[in-house]
Structure 1
Amino acid sequence: MLIQRFMFERFSIAAPRRPLCKARILSAALLALAPLSASTSAHTQADAQKDCARPLPGSVVADPPEVRSHNGVLQADLTYSNFKAANGQEHYCYWDTSGADSPTLRISPGDLLILHLKNELVAASSNTSKDHETSMAVSDPCASARMTALSTNLHFHGLTVPPVCHEDDVLRTMVQPQDAPFEYRFRIPDDESPGLYWYHPHTHGFSNPQVLGGASGALIVEGIERANKELAGLPQRVFVIRDQELLHPDAEPAATGSMPPPPVLRDAEGEILNNGSGGGKPAKDLSINFIPVPWPDYPPAIIRVRPAERQVWRVLNASAITYLDLQILVENKPQSMAVVALDGEPLDENGMTPDRILWADHVFLPPAGRVEFLFKGLPQGAQARLITRSVDTGPAGENDPVRPLATVIASEGSPEPASRLGASPAPLPHSAAVWLGNVPPVRTRKLYFSERPSDPGAPNSPTVFMITVDGQTPAPFDSHAAQPDIVAHQGDVEDWVIENRTQEMHAFHIHQVHFMLTRWMGVQVDEPFLRDTINVPYWDGKSARYPSVTLRMDFRDPNAVGTFVYHCHLLEHEDGGMMGTIRVLPKNRDSY
């Protein structure tokens, strides 16, 4: 199938692979006995919250805790805190009133979300003193725009809610530690696509360390079984994959035979560069539902399933900078995954082709990408592995080698999944909107990623990251700029050509709207589904033509009116300046 081949092979730009070494896989029987949490029986809930406690490697994967809407309202109180662990890593946590960390928010189209966010961040140097915050005057969070390491806000990634204060504004809304709990209040649009979204902080200059420290959670708009009846009544699992600083940065590589390990080289920001081998030390460790899978042995987490049980797996790449190329191996052979949604959008062409499934043996996810698929099940006693294949991010990119994430074990004693999809779903109403692929664009714009050293005379100085509208002068994002980089009108549909003029991959993301891929390297493609994040391949440094994607941008929704951002979702790049603003004006208005 052309769509399947293009989507899952063209976008999987991977380095040569090597088999996983046995020394890197611990015994599943031993791992099954590992504790679920790093906290001990003497460790109170309050202590766990204070410490941002995380599970131990090799633990059994439980679904994240949940907060569900009731009677059309989802109400939650989240306290945002941080803690510097003994190994020097900074952890960030969203605690709800029950003591759950980073709960999944489950809400239906048309529901009202009311979320109170209390900022209790403290200076990383102490974790115990609030002298800094108490010296600051109380501010108006809607007009503060004061971006510091202790400032925060929330971005509801993928939702089509307005970019205004109390909803999804990240340019002006900044909550400080001394502020009262800040209220987010908005209604999920009636026509919001059912699927997997997520929330995370979006303070320019400080997003990378916070998301790297665990500041993220899933958000699910219910009803995906209404878009695809094949999912009706099935149990569902939520897996949030995050990256983090290496737990054992000085460890020697695991035994790999006679081949010497590839050299470890670093970029100007200190990240481990891609070595092109498919192995070696990664730039970051990965975790699954906060269970770390650390270098160099990669002890996998444990996913328990019932024999022959089909499940809907909802996977979020909440990494700050790490690409994933997910694959399920049974006896070292890929098991096909039935993909039903990407980036919160069912693959149903706006309802015109319901129940669509794309079969793939691996799924490529850039940072912020999401996939929902049918896990086909395993026979009694069988084991499988969930891995990420190696990703060639380019000579200037980070090293993302092949590594396991979890061992999947089928046994009768496995617990029943906590959540199931509706057994008798009513089909989604047919959308009155014309399918985006059938709407001609009113204009075409070109944007491009570029980089330069901060000191032109010192090539190894920290990198300045930029995304520029063709014809404008390249410059890093300026949060104080009075004018947006792009002005459009509500109702417009545009084509954006995104070029990559650097030697590392970038993940383009835009707030408030989704888009459709129409061309890859200038060649027309047929991808009848939408995204909000997409990879742009790296430049080889010598070709006369830069790699590019062409995206059909959709500004028809009235919720897109306002000023919001687009950026690279490798958050180190976003924090370093690779972000721009777009102002969508109301119809027939030249200003507002």
Structure 2
Amino acid sequence: MFRWLSSLFAFTFLLYPALARAATEACPRPALGSVVQEPPDLFSHNGVLELTLTARNAAATNGSARYCFIDASGNESPTLRVKPGDLVTIHLKNELTNITPDKTSPHQHHASASTGPCTGGAMTPVTTNLHFHGLTIPPTCHQDEVLQTLIHPGDPVFDYSFRIPDDEPPGLYWYHPHVHGFSRVELLGGASGALIVEGTERADRAVAGLPERVFVIRDQDLVNPNAPSAKSEPVIPKFLLDNDGDAVNTGTGFGKPAKDLSINFVTVPYPNYEPATILMKPGERQLWRVLNASAITYLNLSILRNRAAQRVGLIAIDGVPLNLNGGPADFVDWQTHIGLPPGSRAEFIVEAPEAGVSEAFVTHTVDTGPGGENDPNRPLAIIRSSADAPEPRVKLDAAPQPLPAPKQPWLGSVAPTQVRKFYFSEKLDDPNNPASASEFYITEEGHTPRAFDPNSKQPDVTVTQGTVEDWIIENRSSELHAFHIHQLHFMLLDYDGKTVNEPFLRDIVNVPYFNGHTLSYPSIRIRMDFRDPNIVGTFAFHCHLLEHEDRGMMATIQVVPSETTRNTPSKAALDAPKGVAR
């Protein structure tokens, strides 16, 4: 299946091109085949992380749009490293300009008549904001609110200021823009970065003392959209395209992908998939923190040696250690592949091969359904073992203090106060063509499907803080969807009729597609946690394939304060920096 990899090994090892970073380029990218470099790190000091990020864009040579966040030192997409209790202040500048328009979002959206960046206005390809994916911080302007917070070119510098909760699970989170109608184009352009809440080794001693690596995998428009498939692949009779012009799932594991992939911005383009290079010392163990920052691409990750999948030690999903529910202090779940829908993260232990041996870091095909995009087999990087490999910049504490015990009962042991049912569905322009969807919906059972309306002031769902609910989510479409909700994590209880009861939490989960033959629609059941007072407010839940979210597959939920919360200010409110509008 990966027979073309062996012919690339020797060729790739000779490639150490310098990064293609012209001083005048707004969003520079490394050369093809480059050694993968770590994103720059910005650490908090004395409980504070303060930085400036500037949103910029540029037209790539193939006509696609690049987007990026640049810090004050000129670094692109820095990794933000914080600790529980830290105050984070980000000064966001919008220097986006009108370049090649996004053909899939030709119109403007309006959240409201704007009287400032906290009250909505036009949503365009040059509008931006920040979403801090996975963090349990308030959905209010200047913290983590994306429905009305819109920063336009020419606006004054916008200040984000929030505190990392004391009980935020340690692990990998991320930041990216979330402008409805244009999330897809900005993510495809590369506007994303990692955020790490330090202390993973405090939760799981199995990673204590390990060097760590951060790998951000992004998708982008095809560099060579008109190229035929590589000669080493089987012939695919016909490329079908969806309404966005993306290659539809072939069901073969091969063929033109919907999007190219990159790893830390080193592009691995169709059709030859010239891989990047990852250097490690022989036999070295590292903790890899891997983020799928793709707009629409699913990943199914493996490390191959002579085509055989090697074991990796999974210790966290979506920023949450797997043993946080009182599991063994040195828990490791050894796997041969890890699936990551768009927006999801995994943290796992990797052991380098012996000297002179190489391995391939690959993503296997994902069956996205007849209406889904094509996510075929392809390499990401060659792992090269070398004694002169550079030391990773960050190493975890070798003698960590354990995390304090959770203050709240484990979510799985709390009875739900209510059960709700939702479903994903699509509007097909051609009922006989599952790839012709033009509108996408997420609907509560009993309501009429409708696309998300940014002008609506009425939340789709209202719950009370302090409660726990079970949600059943069906997929009535012929393509795979990925459910995500802001501000909180949930527990997966049931997947397509099979009891799961995972002893850990997620913030994204796949919902299987409907094949048209089963007597019932495929579904999942998840336990939703509305207990944290930080999440009082209105926020979004949606499919994390962003072309679906941009075209209507999003809804809003309002968490209203409980009687206790109404009379007791949250810690976030008490800790909020003075002078910042809330």
**TM bucket normalised to smaller:** over 0.9
Say yes or no: does 1:338 pair with 2:313.
Answer: yes
On the 8 A contact 1:495/1:550 being kept in 2, the answer is yes
Partner of residue 12, structure 1: none
Aligned to 1:164, which of 131, 140, 146?
140
User: 3-state DSSP class of the match of 2:187?
Assistant: helix
- Separation in 1 of the partners of 2:316 and 2:284? 20
Partner of residue 446, structure 1: 421
Q: Deviations over 1:536-568 (max 9, x none)?
A: 111002222111000000000001110000000
Question: Structure 1 stretch 219-228 or stretch 350-359: which is displaced more?
Answer: 350-359
Deviation at 1:352, TM superposition (A): 4.7
Partner of residue 557, structure 2: 582
1:70/1:25 CA distance change after superposition, 3 Å: farther
Aligned to 1:318, which of 293, 296, 303?
293
Matches within 5 A, 1:441-520: 441-453=416-428, 463-520=438-495
Letter in 2 for 1:389: H
- Separation in 2 of the partners of 1:73 and 1:558? 23
Partner of residue 342, structure 2: 367
Partner of residue 33, structure 1: 15
Letter in 1 for 2:334: W
Aligned to 1:93, which of 68, 81, 85?
68
Partner of residue 163, structure 2: 187
1:418/1:458 CA distance change after superposition, 3 Å: closer
- Separation in 2 of the partners of 1:322 and 1:152? 22
Deviation at 1:522, TM superposition (A): 2.8
Say yes or no: does 1:230 pair with 2:206.
Answer: yes
On the 8 A contact 2:34/2:266 being kept in 1, the answer is yes
Question: Structure 1 stretch 183-192 or stretch 539-548: which is displaced more?
Answer: 539-548
1:367/1:459 CA distance change after superposition, 3 Å: closer
Question: Structure 1 stretch 286-295 or stretch 458-467: which is displaced more?
Answer: 458-467
Matches within 5 A, 1:213-224: 213-224=189-200
User: 3-state DSSP class of the match of 1:225?
Assistant: helix
On the 8 A contact 1:28/1:407 being kept in 2, the answer is no
Say yes or no: does 1:54 pair with 2:29.
Answer: yes
Deviation at 1:380, TM superposition (A): 1.1
User: 3-state DSSP class of the match of 1:393?
Assistant: coil
- Separation in 1 of the partners of 2:37 and 2:61? 25
- Separation in 1 of the partners of 2:129 and 2:162? 15
Matches within 5 A, 1:207-286: 207-256=183-232, 259-286=234-261
User: 3-state DSSP class of the match of 1:405?
Assistant: strand
- Separation in 1 of the partners of 2:6 and 2:537? 50
1:357/1:262 CA distance change after superposition, 3 Å: farther
- Separation in 2 of the partners of 1:509 and 1:234? 31
- Separation in 2 of the partners of 1:356 and 1:459? 43
- Separation in 1 of the partners of 2:128 and 2:232? 43
- Number of residue pairs matched by the alignment: 558
1:37/1:159 CA distance change after superposition, 3 Å: same
Say yes or no: does 1:538 pair with 2:520.
Answer: no
Cα RMSD, aligned residues only? 2.2
Letter in 1 for 2:322: L
Deviation at 1:350, TM superposition (A): 2.9
Q: Deviations over 1:367-417 (max 9, x none)?
A: 001000000221111100100011010000000000000000111010011
Q: Deviations over 1:65-107 (max 9, x none)?
A: 1111011100110000100122101000101011100000000
Say yes or no: does 1:102 pair with 2:77.
Answer: yes
Partner of residue 127, structure 2: 151
User: 3-state DSSP class of the match of 1:573?
Assistant: helix
Q: Deviations over 1:512-537 (max 9, x none)?
A: 01000001123322310000000011
User: 3-state DSSP class of the match of 2:117?
Assistant: coil
Say yes or no: does 1:424 pair with 2:424.
Answer: no
Deviation at 1:144, TM superposition (A): 2.7
Q: TM-score scaled to structure 1, two decimals?
A: 0.91
On the 8 A contact 2:491/2:501 being kept in 1, the answer is no
- Separation in 2 of the partners of 1:569 and 1:81? 23
Deviation at 1:256, TM superposition (A): 2.5
Partner of residue 523, structure 1: 498
Q: Deviations over 1:474-494 (max 9, x none)?
A: 000011112111000001100
1:530/1:461 CA distance change after superposition, 3 Å: closer
1:146/1:591 CA distance change after superposition, 3 Å: farther
On the 8 A contact 1:262/1:277 being kept in 2, the answer is no
- Separation in 2 of the partners of 1:261 and 1:62? 35
**Percentage identity across aligned positions?**
54
- Separation in 2 of the partners of 1:344 and 1:329? 25
Partner of residue 525, structure 2: 550
Letter in 2 for 1:195: G
- Separation in 2 of the partners of 1:29 and 1:396? 37
- Separation in 1 of the partners of 2:394 and 2:306? 29
- Separation in 1 of the partners of 2:13 and 2:294? 24
Q: Deviations over 1:176-231 (max 9, x none)?
A: 11111100000000000000000000000000010001010000000000001111
- Separation in 2 of the partners of 1:439 and 1:457? 45
User: 3-state DSSP class of the match of 2:125?
Assistant: coil
Q: Deviations over 1:416-436 (max 9, x none)?
A: 111111121100001121000
- Separation in 1 of the partners of 2:11 and 2:97? 41
1:170/1:454 CA distance change after superposition, 3 Å: farther
User: 3-state DSSP class of the match of 1:574?
Assistant: helix
Say yes or no: does 1:568 pair with 2:543.
Answer: yes
1:591/1:568 CA distance change after superposition, 3 Å: farther
- Separation in 2 of the partners of 1:431 and 1:139? 42
Deviation at 1:263, TM superposition (A): 1.7
Aligned to 1:66, which of 31, 41, 48?
41
Q: Deviations over 1:278-316 (max 9, x none)?
A: 101101000000000000010110000001110000000
Question: Structure 1 stretch 484-493 or stretch 515-524: which is displaced more?
Answer: 515-524
On the 8 A contact 2:241/2:435 being kept in 1, the answer is no
Letter in 1 for 2:474: E
Q: Deviations over 1:95-134 (max 9, x none)?
A: 101110000000000000000110011111499xxxx9xx
- Separation in 2 of the partners of 1:374 and 1:461? 41
Letter in 2 for 1:120: E
1:114/1:501 CA distance change after superposition, 3 Å: same
User: 3-state DSSP class of the match of 2:563?
Assistant: coil
Letter in 2 for 1:143: T
Letter in 1 for 2:320: E
Partner of residue 570, structure 2: none
- Separation in 2 of the partners of 1:503 and 1:249? 25
Letter in 1 for 2:163: R
Partner of residue 105, structure 2: none
1:305/1:537 CA distance change after superposition, 3 Å: same
Unaligned runs of 5+ in 2: 103-107, 568-582
- Separation in 2 of the partners of 1:352 and 1:23? 39
- Separation in 2 of the partners of 1:496 and 1:112? 33
Deviation at 1:455, TM superposition (A): 8.6
On the 8 A contact 2:9/2:382 being kept in 1, the answer is no
Deviation at 1:138, TM superposition (A): 9.4
Letter in 2 for 1:241: I
Aligned to 2:408, which of 433, 446, 466?
433
Letter in 2 for 1:448: Y
User: 3-state DSSP class of the match of 2:122?
Assistant: coil
User: 3-state DSSP class of the match of 2:147?
Assistant: coil
